[in-house]
Amino acid sequence: MTAILLPSPDLFLREDAIRGGMDLIFFTNTRYLKSADERLAAAGLGRAHHRVMYFVQRKPDITVSELHQILGITKQSYNRVAKDLIARNLMIQRVGEKDRRHRLLRLTDEGAALERTIFEELHGKVAHAYSAAGGEAVRGFWSVLQHLIGEEGRTMFGAVQRL
């Protein structure tokens, strides 16, 4: 097993430590999501589909405009993915009850099952990493990520949290 590399605590702001952190973000993006990508590809879907499904499942009856804000995507990008998910019976869109201008999104049973399968695979990886690193490291990890996403990102993050 390859050892966990850590920067020196007193040299964490040096370029090599910052580049190392950026390297880890890139490697994490590809390695962590590999099993999800494979499962999605087998279903003829991609990461954009997964992002939509994840947040719709995270916040059922989310409005289309809320989802646009959370994902930071254009209407064109969203429409392509949404039409595909709806056509595959993975997501439904309905008119809001309080405001008929709102379009509310929810996964179908089939969509929820697929999202749950992918979540469980990814959950296991995160739980293992959290357990290996410990609670204080997880708190630090959350802090670093929230500083990276900035104020707007933290607002979106807060909107989907159930802590």
Interval 3-61: pLDDT, tens: 999 999 899 999 999 999 999 999 998 899 999 999 999 999 999 999 999 999 999 99
- Domain-embedded: residue 110: yes
10 Å CB burial of residue 17 (0-12, 13-18, 19+) is: middle
Tokens of 1: 């097993």
- Domain-embedded: residue 3: no
Q: What integer pLDDT is reported at residue 97 of this predicted model?
A: 82
- What confidence tens digit (pLDDT) does each residue in 108-145 have? 999 999 999 999 999 999 999 999 999 999 999 999 99
Instruction: Break the chain down into helix, strand, coil percent, rounded to 5.
Output: 70, 5, 25
Distance of CA 116 to the CA centre of its chain: 13
> Structural domain tally of the chain?
1
The residue written with tokens 């996403």 in the block is 149
Q: Taking 90 as the threshold, does the pLDDT of residue 146 lie above it?
A: yes
Helix, strand or coil, per DSSP, at residue 104: strand
Q: Provide the sign of the torsion angle of the four alpha carbons 127, 148, 161, 110, taken in this order.
A: negative
Cα(56)–Cα(48) distance, integer angstroms: 12
- Domain-embedded: residue 95: yes
- Domain-embedded: residue 90: yes
pLDDT band at 1 (very low <50, low <70, confident <90, very high): confident
User: In the chain, pLDDT over 70 holds for what percent of residues?
Assistant: 99
pLDDT band at 161 (very low <50, low <70, confident <90, very high): confident
Q: What is the pTM of this model?
A: 0.88
CATH number at residue 138: 1.10.10.10
- Domain-embedded: residue 11: no
Helix, strand or coil, per DSSP, at residue 95: strand
- Domain-embedded: residue 4: no
The domain in which residue 123 lies consists of: 33-160
